Chains A and B, each alone.
Chain A
């Protein structure tokens, strides 16, 4: 029995409830070598994305359902659990296996502890920068939204945090839900001369003039490197368009090709797209656009241990995706010789809070930011008996609480809750605080609504969202998960065409009548006139009425035609 096997036996014993050793003592030795990433080559890029304003360490369960259809069938990122470990050659029972998969989530989480946290991330960034002189830190966006403090400070806590962290270049998505004026204020003041905010695909709606710099050209150890920005192409559709009334987005392939040409003609020997497209969109883009060495991607929150290498008419492009919630730091090394990339190395490093000491300066900043809100954030609303999480194609357990609360508080027959991919995880037995509720709900358009909807409209809504998730052409996807539902059941055939995916819709066992009207509760409407109590008030009031909550069976749809799909367990 070698040390690793011994540790696995210990872990199994601990998982079974045997009090052999403390978690810290168990875990300490498993970290050996995790962060030993020798420098390679001469161009170094560090990449973080989709932290969703999680300044503190958290738990985050990776999905057990992430179905791929069409070309995406059984291909990264649409692999979960053991399928993902097998594809990437990761050993079960290791810290990496826990970071990248949902396998035995609760026992592994108790063993390895929390992930992320900017004070721990800062330590890792400093280590990587120390071993990689000249390295740039890139932030793929979704940084200024996702927590109570980010909402209440209009993103200021996160702006201060990324300045402290030493981010060099960023692009954006949820940042835009602070509104055009606030984004411009931050870019033109806080970030000026410190962080390049790049987005080649954001233009004014009237004349199509660029709103931001499309790219930045930097020298890394004497090598000119261009970082092009790609903001989330469907921001005014997936989020309220009225937040960005004067700006237009889109994928803008032709323009991107021009920008790559400009960067190369200015001498760039390495050209990288810092992208918030989502991984499936990036994979298609990489097959059609030439001249990119890599696409460092986010949005779809896929923690991919290794890149995909995509062929296109001009050569090959690496496509990565770096997970979410501050859980990972991507490290991409290029060896550039004779003006071009000769070789590369990539690692996506999990940020384990127990394995990385806090950076005192970052911790001081976090403490300062949180202090005024400590009482509000810390209010205990209830205790959960079950594991609470969101991520996955269909209802997670935290969503189940949210739709249950909406049904009861709003006196609705059906409840819809958006399929966001952010939202942290709570272990069984944990208190649910106001902070945790805000981690699931903190957006700038939180109004809850109650609408009379005919059955035909309910079907149309489900079909519309399902097509955003399962359209076989990724350019027609928006990168969220399926809308979460309460009060009704349905079946779904992800591979069917739009209009035929959603079947067998029922309320209380009875088929939903297309012409009958139902009371439907929702939140996060993208319409400008939505009015109602914020979702966090609805959920927190419902939780306060209960000392403990348990979720019971998740209201997930019956799946059709998914046998052999390695995007589910």
Chain B
């Protein structure tokens, strides 16, 4: 369990000189400056300083009810998605952590496969399932739950459902990794001391799995906040989230300063969360290597 390690980067043998280390970092630094920091900086510059220093675009984000609604909806959807992912993901991660061999392998494959499948493919699949004459409607009418096909696409429920599906692996993997790190002896000791199954879970397993839960919730929430593809395709104008609003401002209104302000607000939020929970973000979990 290395989530407790203060830094994700462990300093191994000190073989290289400072100059050599610096030289190795040059391409990385160049790329991040040119394709990451410079563009973001330029965009924020547009929102704050062009043509003169102003906060008017940021004020507009918070002053106009229509934009406040979009922000509020984005937070609400991201929260629901995180909640659904936790409720679905935790039990699965728990069963995975108590399995081994082929069973674990198949379950892990079932989580990794959607994780690495194109978001477009998975969003498309949901659109096919949820359309008016899609399988879900056929099932609902066939079973007599509804008389006629109902509108499923372009509803907030559909957006939450599809986004939860797309982001679920980001919950399962960190929680699994945390649960896997709990030695078998701990719950066993609790039970030998007379704890019931439920209180063993509540008093021992749940607290020890919390770093994984925080990590998973953080990843899902962060990704959900800025999600573009799924809400853009599955949601309608009534479900517009901040990413779709940014896109609209750029592509239709050509309002760069305002788009920059929206991005600025989004970035401030994301950065605050990232810095607060930096030690919980562990990427190696998503490429099949375990810490």
Partners in one complex: no
A contact set with B: CB distance below 8 Å? none
